[in-house]
């Protein structure tokens, strides 16, 4: 059970085949779904994430095992109902991790990588952070070994969740049947999540079940094609710069902090926060939208990179 993360490694050939199929479809239908340099950057970032994960996941497993020693109960991983419970527990944890990654700059600095592509395709699903585990993102799952979920089971369910999320990174698939759209995360829901339009910012954080967004007030339906990327794009295909650009910006902001409170908010405040309002948070953008009627801020200057949804 403790080798569960290898699930994603074994899935790589399938990822490649589906990406090739989507490229062929795009060529035959003359749809500009891919750009070579952009896709290459996404794949490079995905490979880097995989390499870092070989070390970081082992450390996280060690933390989970330590917590598991002091578990309150024991949930038998051989029981079918235990896997059902684990699915819901993992998906619930993922929702709050993902939502926090949009609302707290410390986590956003890693997550922004995934939203940095102006294309929305299966290759973009591989555009993953190199620093996510270092930020302590795993803390959102630490309650699970404490209540008795076996650590290998947790890591396996995390892998299955990521497998599910791969296929929803596409414009090829329209809307699914209404009942499916009501319960599960879909390409339509996740396109909203990757949009930089104000209505779509910080919406649809679901992993597998969209019901969490509906329950906690972060759901937004797709009513028009999103503008993909950030409200101010990074304009580079260099994977190293993409991976670390927000950390560099954060360091620069810390250098101009005049008080401890400003320093704290530059790191743990909402992305885009600034003491003088020079850069704006999502809430500030929406207030401005209400006043001006603007729905997309892509070309406005002096704005921190903010994710599309």
Over the stretch 136-153, which tens digit does the pLDDT of each residue have?
999 999 999 999 999 999
Query: pLDDT > 70: what percent of the chain?
Result: 93
**Chain segment 197-224, per-residue pLDDT in tens:** 999 999 999 999 999 999 999 999 999 9
Query: What integer is the mean pLDDT of 11-15?
Result: 95
Model pLDDT, residue 306: 37
Pick from 159, 179, 39: nearest CA to 87: 159
Predicted confidence band of residue 296 (pLDDT cuts 50, 70, 90): low
Model pLDDT, residue 295: 54
Model pLDDT, residue 294: 59
Model pLDDT, residue 302: 34
Model pLDDT, residue 3: 47
For the chain, what is the mean pLDDT? 93
Model pLDDT, residue 293: 66
Is residue 281's pLDDT more than 80? yes
Model pLDDT, residue 277: 86
Model pLDDT, residue 80: 97
Model pLDDT, residue 299: 34
Which of 7-11, 95-99, 165-169 has the least mean pLDDT?
A: 7-11
Parse the chain into domains and list their residue ranges.
Answer: 6-171
**Chain segment 250-260, per-residue pLDDT in tens:** 999 999 999 99
Predicted confidence band of residue 229 (pLDDT cuts 50, 70, 90): very high
Model pLDDT, residue 300: 36
**Chain segment 73-87, per-residue pLDDT in tens:** 999 989 999 999 999
DSSP per residue, the chain: -TTTTHHHHHHHHHHHHHHHHHHHHHHHTT-----HHHHHHHHHHHHHHHHHHHHHHHHHHHHHHHHHHT-SS---TTSHHHHHHHHHHHHHHHHHHHHHHHH-HHHHHHHGGGG--SS-SGGGGG---SSTTTTTGGGGGTHHHHHT--HHHHHHHHHHHHHHHHHTS-SSS-PPPHHHHHHB--HHHHHHHTB-BGGGTT----SSBTHHHHHHT------S---BS-SS------HHHHHHHHHHHHHHHHHT--SHHHHHHHHHS-TT--TTSSS--HHHHHHHHHHH---B-TT-SS-------
- Taking a C-beta distance cutoff of 8 angstroms, is the pair 128, 114 a contact? yes
Model pLDDT, residue 2: 46
Model pLDDT, residue 9: 85
Other beta carbons less than 10 A from residue 69's beta carbon: 7
Query: What integer is the mean pLDDT of 265-281?
Result: 94
């Amino acid at each position: 059970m403790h080798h569960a993360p290898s699930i994603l490694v074994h899935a790589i050939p399938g990822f490649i085949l589906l990406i090739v199929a989507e490229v062929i479809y795009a060529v035959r239908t003359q749809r500009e779904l891919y750009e070579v340099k952009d896709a290459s950057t996404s794949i490079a970032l995905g490979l880097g994430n995989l390499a870092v994960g070989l070390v970081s996941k082992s450390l996280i497993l060690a933390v989970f095992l330590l917590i598991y020693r002091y578990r309150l109960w024991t949930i038998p991983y051989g029981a079918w109902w235990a896997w059902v419970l684990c699915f819901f527990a993992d998906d619930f944890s993922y929702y709050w991790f993902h939502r926090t990654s949009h609302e707290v700059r410390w986590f956003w600095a890693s997550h922004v990588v995934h939203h940095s592509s102006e294309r929305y395709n299966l290759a973009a699903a591989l555009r993953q952070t190199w620093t996510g585990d270092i930020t302590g993102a795993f803390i959102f799952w630490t309650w699970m070994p404490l209540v008795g979920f076996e650590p290998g089971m947790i890591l396996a369910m995390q892998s299955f969740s990521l497998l599910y999320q791969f296929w929803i990174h596409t414009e090829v698939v329209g809307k699914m049947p209404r009942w499916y759209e009501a319960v599960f995360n879909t390409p339509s829901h996740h396109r909203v999540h990757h949009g930089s339009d104000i209505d779509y910012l910080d919406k649809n954080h679901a992993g597998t079940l969209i019901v969490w967004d509906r329950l906690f007030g972060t759901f937004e339906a797709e009513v028009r094609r999103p503008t993909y990327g950030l409200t101010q794009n990074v304009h580079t295909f260099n994977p190293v710069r993409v991976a670390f650009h927000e950390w560099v910006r954060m360091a620069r902001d810390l250098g101009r902090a005049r008080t401890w409170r400003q320093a704290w908010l530059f790191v743990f405040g909402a992305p885009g926060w600034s003491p003088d309002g020079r850069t704006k948070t999502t809430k500030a953008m929406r207030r401005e939208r209400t006043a001006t009627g603007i729905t997309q801020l892509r070309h406005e200057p002096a704005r921190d990179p903010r994710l599309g949804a």
